[in-house]
Amino acid sequence: MKLHKALEINGEPHKLVNESIQLDLFLPGRASFTVVSRKPLKGLIRYRCGYDLANIKPYFLGYVETATTVDQQQQRLFCRELSASLYYPLSIIANNVALLDVLDQLSSKTGLRFITPDNAPSYLQNRTAKFYALANGYYALRTLSKVFGYQQPLWQQEADGSVYVGAWSDSRWASTPVSIPNRWQQVVGVADGARVPAIPALRPGVQIDGRIVTQLTFADVHMHLSWSENPWSLA
């Protein structure tokens, strides 16, 4: 089977030469794309891939941070996921709020769309008399689990650009484990990773044979995976 790829910048298709995408469980993803272009490019970048040409799906949605000229025909673009905008200074001070109220404020300040678990866990109903986060969006999101009381905290941009916030156990990853045939795996560490053919459904957070993917590097037609049985013990 052939892996089909498509790249758009500000809605315009661009010929892709190569790519390297790194996604992490606890940080926004980043990527490097080399494209055919005579001039530097900037703006919104969307990368899609899949084995069905009629239905290739989004995999990376972000923005071009820097563009470097390779030669007269090519540009190398360093990109970050949209959620990386949460790195910049951002403060929230609010009284008598629930988790969703905090996310509404983050959304109004950043333009990001936040989503929470479909099963409406009880911690979404918890309220705090005062919530404050004075550093940046990363800090605000990391504070939520302590304030509103949930384990295995996860905030993660999805392929469509929305940002999931909640417990890993309430995420889609917990209910959709994946099994990869041994013949596809090439061990790259001591039982803590593997190199596999590119599988567009794989992202950090997915559970493979009882282990949670913590980092994924996607280049050409392969993915390098790192995993852990309990990533939160290391966070």
3-state secondary structure 72-116: CCEEEEEEEEHHHHHHCECCEEEEEEEHHHHHHHHHHHHCCCEEC
Confidence at residue 209, expressed as pLDDT on a 0 to 100 scale:
86
Closest residue by Cα to residue 220 from 6, 79, 18: 18
pLDDT in tens, 32-79: 999 999 999 999 999 999 999 999 999 999 999 999 999 999 999 999
**Could you tell me if 22 and 76 lie in one domain?**
yes
- For residue 141, the surrounding DSSP H or E stretch is helix 137-148
Closest residue by Cα to residue 232 from 121, 145, 114, 112: 145
Terminal Cα distance for the chain, rounded: 38
Cβ neighbors of 11 (< 8 A, separation 6 or more) are 44
Last residue of a domain, one of 84, 103, 123: 84
**Could you tell me if 143 and 194 lie in one domain?**
no
**Could you tell me if 79 and 93 lie in one domain?**
no
pLDDT in tens, 102-156: 999 999 999 999 999 999 999 999 999 999 999 999 999 999 999 999 999 999 9
Task: Tell whether pTM > 0.85.
Answer: yes
Average pLDDT over the chain reads 94
Last residue of a domain, one of 64, 84, 104: 84
Range of the domain at 128: 88-150
Specify the length of the chain in residues.
235
Using DSSP's 3-state secondary structure scheme, residue 36 falls into strand
**Could you tell me if 27 and 76 lie in one domain?**
yes
Using DSSP's 3-state secondary structure scheme, residue 194 falls into strand
Say yes or no to pLDDT of 223 above 80. Answer: yes
Say yes or no to pLDDT of 189 above 60. Answer: no
**Could you tell me if 47 and 72 lie in one domain?**
yes
122, 136 Cβ separation under 8 angstroms: no
| Spatial separation of the C-alpha atoms in residues 174 and 234, rounded to whole Å | 19
**Could you tell me if 93 and 49 lie in one domain?**
no
| Spatial separation of the C-alpha atoms in residues 157 and 59, rounded to whole Å | 11
Averaged over 3-22, what is the pLDDT? 98
| Spatial separation of the C-alpha atoms in residues 222 and 226, rounded to whole Å | 13
Cβ neighbors of 214 (< 8 A, separation 6 or more) are 24, 25, 26, 204, 226, 227, 228, 231
**Could you tell me if 66 and 108 lie in one domain?**
no
157, 109 Cβ separation under 8 angstroms: no
Averaged over 177-191, what is the pLDDT? 65
Q: How many domains does the chain have?
A: 3
